[in-house]
Structure 1
Amino acid sequence: MKKLLVAAALIGVVSFASAQEKKNVYVKEGNLIKATLFHDNGQISQKGYYTEEGKLQGEWISYDKDGVKTAAANYENGEKTGKWFFWNDDTLKEVDYSQSQVTSVNTWKIEGERVVSNE
């Protein structure tokens, strides 16, 4: 009986552990590969696209371990481009890129008040 209880407990632990851990998912869509990456707790960590050559392409979104969006980024053939957004507690940071170079940075409090600008 004792062995049966230990075996049942082990099966429960293994089942719980495998249910919590998700493997990253890659799906080919045309000439791009859609990637969904996961945190150890099963929440989505990042999602976006790669080219067939392995370069980041288009919009990439990042999330914290609780599933809250922390960043939105844009890539063109592996280069940082366009507007990137970073959320952190009560602050929103907007970073503009051109050819992987920072062209401007603005920071706001979430209430809408502009805090810092380099323009």
Structure 2
Amino acid sequence: MKNLAFILVMLVVGLGYSQSDRTLTLNEKTNLIEVSYFHDNGQVSQTGFYTAEGKLQGEWITYDLQGTKKVSAKYDNGIKTGKWFYWSASSLKEVDYSNNTIATVSSWVNENTIADSKQP
């Protein structure tokens, strides 16, 4: 519990954010600290979890200024793991991590036009 209290204090005073730029919630069942960071405009910029030791855990999601999901990442006790996804306006990248290193990278480009506003 001392480690958890220390981590909470470090999260509140550290990381270069003021208290209004994030929220912290302790899940007593999982002993994980759920955190949400916010852009200056109030939109959520990132959500995720920390262990009591301060390591990234589980799924972390990053959003742009408009609230659109840009990155989905996974951690296991601070280690990058599994499939990470990176979205842009025209593409999706999938990066697969194994033992904290990149195993594979796949990319898809959206080249389809759903509707064309030009009249024949």
- TM-score scaled by structure 2? 0.73
Residue of structure 2 in register with 1:68 after alignment? 68
Alignment match, 1:26 = 24
The one-letter amino acid of 1:93's match is K
| Cα distance in 2, alignment partners of residues 23 and 77 from structure 1 | 24
Corresponding letter in the other structure for 2:26: K
CA RMSD in angstroms, aligned pairs only: 1.6
Segments ≥4 residues shifted beyond 3 Å: none
Q: Which structure: greater strand fraction?
A: 1
State whether structure 2 residue 56 is matched by structure 1 residue 56: yes
Q: Which runs of 5+ in 2 are unaligned?
A: 1-19, 113-120
TM-score, with structure 1 as normaliser: 0.73
* Residue identity matched to 2:63: Y
Counterparts of 2:96 and 2:45, CA distance in 1: 23
Distance in 1 (CA, whole Å) between partners of 2:91 and 2:77 is 29
Structure 1 position 111, deviation (Å)? 5.5
Identity %: 53
| Offset at residue 71 of structure 1 (A) | 0.3
